[in-house]
Structure 1
Amino acid sequence: MEMQALQMTPVSMHAESHLGETRPKEEVKGFGEYLTEALKKTNDLQLESDRQNALLAAGRVEDISQVVVASQKADIALQLTLQLRNRALSAYQEIMRMQV
């Protein structure tokens, strides 16, 4: 009597679960993408601040508070970016000091 190998086919679910197991997975952004996006926003705030300052110098701004707000937004974003960089560098240096 000849024995045949079992032929198994993968099982797939076609029903939807109320627990959310069968919902399509949303694409998750990586850390690098978040960092790139944050740096672009910081750059945009800097460029807007420069544009507002140029308009102020040309005398085309009626409300100086817009210029001040744009400048402060850019400054805060830059300070946050620098602090994140400093923390990342500090963490890297700490990891490099670890003895294995």
Structure 2
Amino acid sequence: MKSVSDITLSSHLKGLAKPQHAPSVSDIGNKFSEALKNSISQVNSAQVSADKAAEQIAAGETKNLHEAMIKLEEADISMRLMVQIRNKALDAYQEVMRMQV
């Protein structure tokens, strides 16, 4: 025989009354800053990798032009994405600063 869960309003209200652990503002800020640092680090490593690939092609050390172009395009796309994220963050900051309290 299956057990039937209580679907009454009082059981749902009791569930809502339990205090839930909410993350602190500093925790959220730390997580955001870590995510931002990680993404900047990834963009930087893509740029460094693309620069090395371009130098190898220019020096004649490798003939694999396709991989070099792929690395260059990945670096370009990641940089453009980072710039767009920065622009959106600045727009959001400016919007918050324009709000009247």
Same fold (TM over 0.5): yes
Aligned to 1:10: none
Distance in 2, Cα, partners of 1:94 & 1:34: 22
Distance in 1, Cα, partners of 2:61 & 2:85: 36
Aligned to 2:20: none
- After superposing on structure 2, the runs of 4+ consecutive aligned residues of structure 1 that deviate more than 4 Å are none
Write the deviation string for residues 12-68 of structure 1: whole angstroms up to 9, x where unpaired: xxxxxxxxxxxxxxxx97011011001001000000000000000000112100110
Larger of the two Rg values belongs to structure: 1
Count how many residue pairs are aligned between Structure 1 and Structure 2. Answer: 73
Structure 1 segments unaligned to the other structure (5+ residues) = 1-27
- Code of the residue aligned with 2:90 in structure 1: it is L
Deviates more, 1:59-68 or 1:38-47: 59-68
Matched, 1:30 2:22: no
Distance in 2, Cα, partners of 1:34 & 1:92: 18
Aligned to 1:61: 62
Aligned to 1:9: none
Indicate the RMSD between aligned Cα atoms, in angstroms.
1.4
Aligned to 1:47: 48
- Code of the residue aligned with 2:92 in structure 1: it is A
Q: Aligned residues: percent identity?
A: 37
Q: How does 1:57-96 map to 2 (within 5 A)?
A: 57-96=58-97
How far off is 1:99 after superposition?
0.8
Structure 2 segments unaligned to the other structure (5+ residues) = 1-27
- Code of the residue aligned with 1:42 in structure 2: it is V
Structure number with higher helix proportion: 2
